[in-house]
Amino acid sequence: MRLESKVALITGAGSGIGKESAILFAAEGAKVVVVDLNEDAGNAVVMNIKASGGEAIFQRADVSKSADARDMVQAAEDHFGALHVIFNNAGISHARDDDAVTTEEDVWDLTFAINVKGVFFGCKYAIPAILRSGGGSIINTASFVALLGAATPQLAYTSSKGAVLSMTRELAAIHARQGIRVNALCPGPLRTELLMKYLDTEEKRQRRLVHVPMGRFGEALEIAKAALWLASDDSSFTTGATFLVDGGITSAYTTPL
41 CB neighbour count, 10 Å cutoff: 17
Q: CA angle 185-124-66, nearest 5°?
A: 105
2.40.160.20, 1.10.287.130, 3.40.50.720, 3.90.1640.30: CATH of 7-189+221-243: 3.40.50.720
Question: Minimal CA–CA distance to 119: which of 105, 102, 138?
Answer: 138
What predicted TM-score, i.e. pTM, was given to this entire model? 0.94
Q: What is the pLDDT of residue 196?
A: 63
Q: Whole-number mean pLDDT of the chain?
A: 93
Q: Are 180 and 127 in contact (CB under 8 A)?
A: yes
Q: Which residues are identified as catalytic?
A: 157
Instruction: Tell me the per-residue pLDDT of 231-240, one tens digit each, with 9 for 90 and over.
Output: 999 999 999 9
Q: Are 57 and 33 in contact (CB under 8 A)?
A: yes
pLDDT tier at 151, thresholds 50, 70, 90 = confident
pLDDT tier at 254, thresholds 50, 70, 90 = low
Torsion of CA 98, 100, 102, 107, to 10 degrees: 60
* Residue 98 reports pLDDT greater than 80: yes
Collapsed DSSP state (helix, strand, coil) of residue 111: helix
Is the pLDDT higher at 150 or at 51?
51
Instruction: Tell me the per-residue pLDDT of 170-223, one tens digit each, with 9 for 90 and over.
Output: 999 999 999 999 999 999 888 877 666 666 677 767 767 777 888 888 899 999
| Mean pLDDT calculated for residue range 80-108 | 95
Instruction: Tell me the per-residue pLDDT of 130-140, one tens digit each, with 9 for 90 and over.
Output: 999 999 999 99
Q: What is the pLDDT of residue 190?
A: 81
Percent above pLDDT 90 for the chain: 79
Q: What is the pLDDT of residue 257?
A: 47
Q: What is the pLDDT of residue 206?
A: 72
Domain locations along the chain: 7-189+221-243
Q: CA angle 232-83-86, nearest 5°?
A: 60
